[in-house]
Amino acid sequence: MMTRINHFPDLSTSEIAIFLLGKVLCLKTADFILTGMITETEAYTEDDPASHTFGGRQTLRNQPMFGTVGTIYIYLIYGMHRCLNIATGQKGEGSAVLIRALKPLQGQAHMQYNRGVKVTAKGLTDGPGKLVQALGIPMALNGASIFNPNIPLWLEDHNYSCIHQCTTRIGIRRGQDRLWRFVVLGDVQK
């Protein structure tokens, strides 16, 4: 059984971050479908000093984070890498889940081509910037809904069940103490 996800359960941002672990992110191009299982996520909310929306700050860039649940937020970080987030909460609430890592499932060779570097299967998509590049997620999807059936990016539930761990976050300076990073442990069961 494999179903396309067209809504999220009514949960908090960190609970949705956990919900997304083991789900499958899919991108369709003219010739390929590229898929990968989500293995690492992170929650970002308005009370998180590391969030673009800390304290309710609104800018032109972070508007999608204030959109309805499922709004896609893609932004450029360090001038060169793009990160994929999915908004959570009500419209007007600046919260989202960052997709930090995938395990490649379908179209690995094409992901390799998109990345343009010689790396192992793990290295293909084991970072937020890497997975966006590997799938070739277009910036044009910024602000669209992940539940919109007319866009080439969507989520599927393949009924993978996985054990997860909550950890402190990495790669940031502020708000490191919060246990809002979620990773899949070990192998995944069908």
Q: How many residues bind DNA (CB under 7 A)?
A: 38
104 touches DNA (CB under 7 A): no
Tell me 23's DSSP state: -
Choice between 15 and 157, CB closer to DNA: 15
Choice between 121 and 163, CB closer to DNA: 121
CA gap 80, 87 in Å, rounded: 22
Q: From residue 46, how far is each of 52, 63, 88, 100, 159 by CA, in Å?
A: 8, 13, 11, 19, 31
85 touches DNA (CB under 7 A): yes
44 touches DNA (CB under 7 A): yes
146 touches DNA (CB under 7 A): no
Min separation Cβ 182 and DNA, Å:
14
CA gap 67, 133 in Å, rounded: 24
Min separation Cβ 106 and DNA, Å:
20
Residue 17 tokens, joined: 């971050």
136 touches DNA (CB under 7 A): no
Q: Give residues with Cβ within 8 angstroms of 171, minimum separation 6.
A: none
Calculate the CA 28 to chain-centre distance.
16
Q: Angle CA(146)–CA(151)–CA(153) in degrees, nearest 5?
A: 55
Min separation Cβ 183 and DNA, Å:
13
Binding site for DNA (CB under 7 A): 42, 44, 50-53, 57, 59-62, 65, 73, 75-81, 83, 85, 96, 98, 115, 117, 119, 123, 127-131, 170-174
